[in-house]
Structure 1
């Protein structure tokens, strides 16, 4: 595997330098995975536009998808980042661990986590029971499309980190097996 270092502001395009400044102002730092995307001259601006586009999913629903997809794809970076963001959106540590395990005590989130997990594991193929449970929980065809788009967003970031192994700059979280015992 090639070794990736996180580029600094002076090593990226002018367009991305401005984005680094905006991220610094908004978050207090430039996340390493975002900085790594900036190796592509247009990658960071393109990705952030996609990631920040309007969706029918609320912030908690997006985090349900982000957490289960990152768990399935084994991405330590995104699990750390979305555990932090999940807590910021009101999830408890226990709820986050349940979501990472593929369950939720909230029936609507439970249908969502099972649906997103199946989409990720089976590359878009779905058993009828999981799909029917998703719709029975109140989700629509539009939500289905938005979940697929959220899965694709998170899968791209998971794959990027799994390949580059840039340092995790969010509080680390234990592997699920360790966290449950």
Structure 2
């Protein structure tokens, strides 16, 4: 009986080991995506009226799980020009037009169509992490390919939202939708 218990304990440890290791890896990846989001915010220009109702903050809204939210806390309060970043959890998808940057986790890709309808014609920099995001009309996708983050920018979507992304940043990205 003791052997059986030991065997089960070892089996449980082996089966759950990848799950336990996945959480720190996900946290690390989202921390990198948060830093990239900060840099995109620093190198994006919004129309003046985008800040009329939001005071001095640059609102970064998140649609994702707790790992996403915890990772993005690393940029909360950081400065983008003369504005401090304010992290807003947008799980209920309300008031998305208050966002200046909207990061949508791949876990929420079933919500993309509704999100893009809600923010249409508003100057919101949309950011995601997979190809479906770009195909649905997202502006910036940060895709993990073999452990490296590749940047994709949909210029047509950014221009439609009246956003100007720095050419210095665009040199680092794959450009789609240039019309």
The normalised TM-score by structure 2 is 0.31
Higher share of residues assigned helix: 1
Higher relative contact order (CA 8 A, sep 6+): 1
The normalised TM-score by structure 1 is 0.31
Q: Which has the larger radius of gyration?
A: 2
